[in-house]
């Protein structure tokens, strides 16, 4: 039972997550084999102020 974790900035729509899950599942099964029903995708939405790159908060580095 593979678990694929996707951490990304919050703000993606349900439709975008649906498409990501579909694409990742297909790619995993093509590469590693197995049954698509066994592939688990876990989305973790991260606020920009909860992530930093190079000592700078992403909310400051990449403002909306």
2-44 pLDDT, tens digit per residue, is: 999 999 999 999 999 999 999 999 999 999 999 999 999 999 9
Active-site residue identified among 2, 11, 27, 36: 2
Catalytic (active site) residue 2: yes
Residue whose C-alpha is closest to residue 21's, from 53, 46, 43, 1: 43
Q: What does the pLDDT read at residue 31?
A: 97
**Mean pLDDT for all residues in the chain:** 97
Reported as a single tens digit per residue, the pLDDT across 42-55 is 999 999 999 999 99
- In CATH, what number does 3-61 get? 3.30.429.10
Q: What's the pTM value of the predicted model, to 2 decimals?
A: 0.87
Give the separation between CA 31 and CA 40, rounded to whole angstroms.
15
């Amino acid at each position: 039972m593979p678990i694929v974790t996707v951490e990304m900035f919050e703000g993606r729509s349900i439709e975008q997550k649906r498409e990501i899950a579909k694409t990742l599942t297909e790619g995993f099964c093509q590469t590693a084999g197995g049954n698509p029903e066994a592939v688990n995708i876990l989305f973790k939405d991260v606020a920009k102020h909860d992530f930093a790159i190079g000592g700078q908060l992403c909310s400051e580095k990449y403002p909306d």
